[in-house]
Structure 1
Amino acid sequence: MTSFAVVGAGWRAEMFWRIADGLPGLRCVGAVVRSPRELPVPAFTSLSACVAEAAPDFVVTAVPWPATPSVIVEAVERGLPVLAETPPAPDAAGLRALWAAVGDSGLVQVAEQYLLMPSHAARAAAVRAGLIGTPTQVQVSSTHQYHAVSLIRGLLGAGRGPVRVRATRSTAPLVDPLTRDGWTEDPDPRPATTTIATLDFGDGRSGVYDFTDNQWHNHLRFRRLLVRGSHGELRDDELIRLSQPRTLIRSALVRRQTGYDLDLDGFDTDTITLDGEVLYRNPYPGRRWSDEEIAIATLLDATAAWVRGSAPAPYPLSDGAQDHLVALAIEEAADTDRTVTTAVEAWG
């Protein structure tokens, strides 16, 4: 049994201990909170007390951005592996200071789950299989900042080198019918800002970032993902490619979702296939989990396996830091209306 403790008690922390409850071989042994309270797991007011009594194998941080670096450093000083929520530090100076403090320890992973979501995992599998040739451009319009950068870098196979960023913002009226709290019951358009950026990774590889305020929850904006390659293109759940001379093939990624109509097996994701080949299979059948929950469960299991020494690091601090560095460059380029080029950092 591998155990972990969560630092924090907000909605994100709650998701970690709730999902862990459905994972055999993994257990949340406590939460570190600022003040005592009733929780589904034991509560501790300090990491030292938690370590002394519960002896977790690793720590998950789920605290506000400014607090994350100090929690990471304290855990590493105690020799504990860490899975840090995104981003690992608020700004570029904080990322550099954090790396200087703990980078060489090899004990820090970042809880970047987007590439582990079933749809994205299936798309990534199709790209890795070479179905569209060499990926050259990724366009993401669905999520913000470091999450979008992670998708772009991951699908491109881009490393941690310099990135040249251009960005612009515009504001236009948009109805915002849904937030994390549910339906707003507000039919009136409100000003919503859209940020569009181009990312040049060099060697013919590029990304396009397109995000509108609250796009995670606002279903009046389609989520879009495009991967362009040397021999074809993947657009959302559709793929076109040149399979042989004078032969273009158009295929669809098909999700088998149980629980519809007369399917009495219960609502669940089963597989995602392309032309009869399974690109993704849900590792947690019967849990009835959302894609986000499946991704977090996959990340927790991968982290536990890494802590046990039986699997590679799931998402090292170097990658999480690079994602946020590029995200910060997007914001800076949009703020200043100037091209921003990131440097090769110590984690590069």
Structure 2
Amino acid sequence: MKFIMIGCGWRAQYFLRAAEILSDRLEVSAIVMHSEKRAQEIQQETGILTTTDLETALDTKPEFALLCVPRSVMKEWILRLCKLQIPVLCETPPGQDIEELNNLWKEVQILHGKVQVTEQYFLQPYYAAVQNVIDSGILGEISNVSMSAIHGYHAISIFRKFLGIGMENCKISGKTYQFPVTKTRDRAGWHTSGEILTGNRARIDIIFENGKAAFYDFDDEQYFSPIRSRSWVIQGARGEVRGDQICYMDHQNRPVSEQMHREDDGVYNIDGWSHRYISFRGERIYENPFPGARINDDEIAVTDLLAHMKQYVETGKEFYPLREGLQDAYLSFLMDEAVKNPGKEIISTSQSWSV
């Protein structure tokens, strides 16, 4: 199956690597860039037809388009492709504000557009494994999730999935704190100067109308910094997940504490590194769908997104529909509003995609 990419920045590199892993199933037939100079550079780097003209890219007969463009032009591109009846895989958030999100939804419905969203975290090994533990029922119904790991709409996505939240409304309150942290690593690589940065840490409470709660804690250095660790607590009536530790009540109502176990090839041996599976109670609760591939957890998830998109085009089976991405984006905008107005409770309302 051929697909085209619109844009080719830092994020798009993940999808190019994913397409290589899925080369027996998918092919990037063309890339569309805004700048002629950058188009020439990308074509030289990748060997893929790269152009500033969408029509030239469409001449390669793609079956869907992947959008890796700035938020400011995302809506414009989605609608342009929907008018051409081309299925779209787009980034979140697909709009700059709440009004634009609603306008996008209404126009996509008029055009009968086929749009899925590149929200990948639920496909990462850890989150997929925890979701399987939740679905097994041993924790009982999940009532609250505390997470200090991922930001904004990504966090909202996981909160909603772990809590079983659909389009329920909520109340949001929060505050941002500033704390010093040593600069260690970013997209450019490692830093050893010892420079002290001012980290922004957001603490936000999200209380849904059914009483379930999400507690958000994120420092803007967390994605790359080895001295700002990540943590998760997912609590149900009969147990909890705390990192890799799972505590629950057995069938005789006795407390049991066990760990999820991660198995990777290439650790302490000469095998090529790759993730294999995560197990719990002697059973595999997650298996890497791309065994042997030398890719990290986020790359596994991104590759899985492309595989799901292929299936969506072939069968119509949705994996992360636009309405879900819009809800994640909407609540993340309200989170931003809450931390800008500490002490004020922000109340969500049902939007056009949720009714």
Of the candidates 79, 88, 91, which is equivalent to residue 85 of structure 2?
79
Q: 2:334 aligns with which of 329, 335, 340?
A: 329
RMSD of aligned residue pairs (Cα, Å): 1.3
Match of 1:235 among 234, 242, 262: 242
2:32 maps to a residue whose letter is: V
SS in 2 for 1:83: strand
* 2:257 maps to 1:250: yes
From the superposition, tell whether residues 214 and 94 of structure 1 become closer, same or farther in structure 2 (CA, over 3 Å). farther
Counterpart amino acid of 1:8?
A: G
Contact 1:82 1:109 in 2 (8 A): yes
Paired letter, 1:333: A
Question: 8 Å contact 2:205–2:215 — kept in the other structure?
Answer: yes
Residues paired across the two proteins, number: 344
Give the distance between the partners of 1:100 and 1:331, measured in 2 at CA. Answer: 24
Alpha-carbon distance in 2 for matches of 1:94, 1:185 = 42
Matches within 5 A, 1:125-274: 125-262=132-269, 264-274=270-280
Partner of 1:346: 352
SS at match of 1:211: strand
- Measured in 2, the distance between the counterparts of 1:131 and 1:222 equals 27
| C-alpha contact 1:103 1:347 (8 A) present in aligned 2 | no
In 1, Cα distance between the equivalents of 2:152 and 2:298? Answer: 17
User: Is the CA contact 2:92–2:119 (under 8 Å) kept in the aligned structure 1?
Assistant: yes
Q: Aligned equivalents of 1:323 and 1:129: distance in 2? A: 25
Could you tell me how far 1:246 is from its partner in structure 2?
A: 4.2
TM-score, normalised to structure 1, is 0.96
* Amino acid aligned to 1:120: Y
Question: Where does structure 1 differ by over 4 angstroms across 4 or more consecutive aligned residues?
Answer: none
User: Paired residue for 1:320?
Assistant: 325
Aligned partners of 1:30, 1:156: CA distance in 2, in Å?
Answer: 40
Equivalent residue runs for 1:107-118 within 5 Å: 107-118=114-125
Q: Deviations over 1:295-342 (max 9, x none)?
A: 011110001101011x62110110001001111111101111211111
Cα deviation code 1:212-268 (max 9, x no counterpart): 112111121111111110110011111000113441111111011111223x33211
- Give the counterpart letter for 2:318 in structure 1: A
Q: Alpha-carbon deviations, 1:79-111, whole Å to 9, x = none?
A: 011000121112211111111111452511110
Aligned 8 A contact 2:6 2:65 in 1:
yes
Which residue of 2 is the match for residue 21 of structure 1? 20
In 2, the alpha carbon distance for the partners of 1:300 and 1:246 equals 43
TM-score by length of 2: 0.94
- Deviation, 1:143, is 1.3
Residue equivalent to 1:275: 281
Please, which runs of 5 or more residues in structure 2 have no aligned partner? Answer: none
Moved more, 149-158 or 94-103: 94-103
Cα deviation for residue 188 of structure 1 reads: 3.0
Q: Which amino acid aligns with 1:194?
A: R
Q: What is the CA distance between 1:161 and its match in structure 2?
A: 2.1
Unaligned runs of 5+ in 1: none
Q: For residues 104-128 of structure 1, what are the alpha-carbon distances to aligned partners after superposition, in whole Å with 9 as ceiling and x for unaligned?
A: 5251111000010011111111111
